[in-house]
Structure 1
Amino acid sequence: MSNLELEPQETLCGTGQSEPGTATVELIEPRDVPLGGPRAMPVRRTLPSKERSLIGAWCFLDHYGPDDVSLSGGMRVPPHPHTGLQTVSWLFTGEIDHRDSAGHHALVRPGELNLMTAGRGINHSEYSTPGTTVLHGAQLWVALPDEARRTDPGFERYVPPAVVLADGDGTTAGEARVFLGALAGSVSPVRTHTPLLGAEILLLPGAQTAIEVDPGFEHGLLADNLPARIGGAEVPTRTLAYVGPGATLLRLANPGKATLRLLLLGGAPFDEEITMWWNFVGRGHEEIVAFRDAWQREIGAEPGGPADDPDFFGPVVEPTGGDAALPAPELPHVRLRPRGGSRERKTR
């Protein structure tokens, strides 16, 4: 998914860290962002936010729906570029047509991980399919570490099995689908370039459970459809709850009368300094400028002759909707300053 803000802000990325042994919950409220077009599909963005830029290497989280496609227009994202990251598509309802410049064409469906590695550069398009009436899900990005960020672009699909979650007396509390990393005895075979966790959790009405987690990870839990109780905190619907490193258990409860869905993200704190602007993750001002220039020249959006490498992002894909590729916004009139990592954590 593209970041379609017309004036995207430079994101100076780093992570915070709570004291060892604590499980303090920090709440991150979503902000509404229109996802482009004359009938823009609204999304709710919790990463990056003013409170927190990353959770592990997770650097972007858009949550959308459930949307009536006849009213919202659905997802209509023309070809756009990415560098230095992986995109993770996870649907609850609906279907999305994915096409990318590395030659992959996939239908994204509920309960199926679709992971695209941008690496050194890729472009792709995403459109909800004609048969989709309700669209509901999440789009996430993972920042790649320096040794992996110039890797070749790629695409992986994985359908994780459901594993049972129990409460304290062994009664079934719900289930989890682990699409990245390991949790509750389920291990995803999908390779990650930093230690990560990604899972969808369903809790039955009135149920509670305690899940063992890696104390070296920081975690985020998005309450999708109902309020949740995480530790001792009440988490409103559509809010992201952050738990810093040191926790060995995540205590989850569903106080409602319908099944609660949570999206669980985790990872080892990401210590590298990165700059994220528009759809690029880089390592400084000059690199971001070079990415933007390469894309603009590749699609013929700006004069100046062909790019040094006309296939930097690969051939522009032919999207399902037939729309032209998205031009990049104007860069801000200030120098982009990378920071973050361990240096930023020391200031929190």
Structure 2
Amino acid sequence: MSSFEADPEVGLSAPAALELLEGAPVALGGPRGFAVTRTLPNRQRRMVGAWCFLDAYGPHDLAGSGGMRVGPHPHTGLQTVTWLLAGEVLHRDSLGHRQEIRPGQLNLMTAGGGISHSEETPPEHTPVLQGVQLWVALPHAARDMPPAFAHHADLPVVDGAGFTATVLMGEFAGATSPARCHTPLVGAELALAASAQATLPLRPDFEYALLALDGAPVIDGVTLKPGPLLYLGSGRTSVAVATGSAFRLLLLRGEPFEERLVMWWNFVARDHDEIVQMRADWSDRTPRFGEVRGYDGAPLPAPALPISRLVPRGRVRFPAG
């Protein structure tokens, strides 16, 4: 884990400068695993509100490959948010849920004190897979809550001024998702037609980021292609978006998350000793994480802990200057 400095104060008098956060390539399951681009946590910035993790993948042509295959693994202190643009993913968890997700649907798993799950491309599937998985850090009051899973097949869609928004989490443009949030945040997929322009409404007391899912929208003069995450910061009441071709954009919003966290492997905790216990509970197969049934393969082993103690960090690495 990188060292991050104390959080800067959020000033609402002027919008923050745009930050382009480049993603890192990651292979899930090892060097030959399923390729994703990880933009959160980032070298400069660990979180956007309570959003603390963002993997984007695809479009992957699944011809001649097994697609996604992530064996049973544990989580604590977070929610996983799965959103597809193309293809299918089969979720199994230690609560006994078996749920296939398709584009336009939301899988929301709340780890709380502990849960395990697997994710894979089902045997019968369409030829292309593309999507995102995000994590939301649970606040202190909810981080040890009982685990839960919800599948939302119907999400609210609202037409704004020049855009259409599907609201995954929270409330945006007058529409509210049925997904349960534990901190004030928003996740929404925005779609704009070719040669369209739009002004997105923003709240100055929240921080925002945008991820191009396809196309190349121009945001306040910055062309955003799939890959990097564009951090807008706080202090904005709106942002201008324009495009030559049609595109889809993921909007993330959140109240700045002030708690300091230790994020290691699949765990979100508050100190090193908690991480040590979580790893031991998974390695020893204690009842804490339960058992995923039906997955054809072994659970993922926990990696070795670092030699030095893990230190709780704030949401940014460098103070504003």
Instruction: Give the shorter-chain TM-score range.
Output: over 0.9
Structure 1 pair 11–62 and aligned structure 2 pair: CA distance change class (3 A)? farther
Aligned match for 1:281, one of 268, 281, 297: 268
Output the CA distance in 2 between the equivalents of 1:33 and 1:264: 22
- Per-residue displacement from partner, 1:165-206 (whole Å, max 9, x unpaired)? 22xxxxxx3311001111111111222110010000111111
Aligned match for 1:291, one of 273, 278, 285: 278
Output the CA distance in 2 between the equivalents of 1:64 and 1:71: 18
1:312 paired residue number: 288
Aligned match for 2:63, one of 59, 70, 73: 70
Structure 1 pair 175–274 and aligned structure 2 pair: CA distance change class (3 A)? same
1:236 paired residue number: 225
SS at match of 2:210: strand
Aligned residues of 2:39 and 2:229 also touching (Cα < 8 A): yes
- Per-residue displacement from partner, 1:234-292 (whole Å, max 9, x unpaired)? 223322100111111122111x33x2110111100000000000000001110000100
Output the CA distance in 2 between the equivalents of 1:180 and 1:295: 29
Q: How many residues align?
A: 318
1:145 paired residue number: 139
1:169 paired residue number: none
Aligned match for 2:160, one of 152, 156, 165: 165
Aligned match for 2:100, one of 97, 100, 107: 107
1:340 paired residue number: 314
SS at match of 2:214: coil
Q: Where do residues 165-184 of structure 1 align in structure 2 (5 Å cutoff)?
A: 165-166=160-161, 173-184=162-173
Structure 1 pair 92–151 and aligned structure 2 pair: CA distance change class (3 A)? same
Residue type at the aligned position of 1:311 = P
How high is the TM-score relative to the length of structure 1?
0.86
Shift of 1:347: 6.4
- Per-residue displacement from partner, 1:184-237 (whole Å, max 9, x unpaired)? 111112221100100001111111111212221111100121222112322233
Aligned match for 1:124, one of 114, 117, 123: 117
Aligned residues of 1:100 and 1:317 also touching (Cα < 8 A): yes
Aligned residues of 1:15 and 1:55 also touching (Cα < 8 A): no
Aligned residues of 2:72 and 2:292 also touching (Cα < 8 A): yes
Aligned residues of 2:5 and 2:319 also touching (Cα < 8 A): no
SS at match of 1:340: coil
Output the CA distance in 1 between the equivalents of 2:240 and 2:9: 19
Residue type at the aligned position of 1:30 = G
Aligned residues of 1:78 and 1:319 also touching (Cα < 8 A): no
Aligned match for 2:83, one of 67, 80, 90: 90
Structure 1 pair 184–15 and aligned structure 2 pair: CA distance change class (3 A)? farther
Output the CA distance in 1 between the equivalents of 2:54 and 2:102: 18
Unmatched 5+ stretches in structure 1: 1-8, 167-172, 299-309
Structure 1 pair 318–12 and aligned structure 2 pair: CA distance change class (3 A)? farther
Shift of 1:141: 0.3
Unmatched 5+ stretches in structure 2: none
1:46 is aligned to 2:39: yes
Structure 1 pair 178–209 and aligned structure 2 pair: CA distance change class (3 A)? same
Structure 1 pair 26–120 and aligned structure 2 pair: CA distance change class (3 A)? same
How high is the TM-score relative to the length of structure 2?
0.93
Structure 1 pair 24–91 and aligned structure 2 pair: CA distance change class (3 A)? same
CA RMSD, Structure 1 to Structure 2 (Å): 2.0
Identical aligned residues as a percent: 49
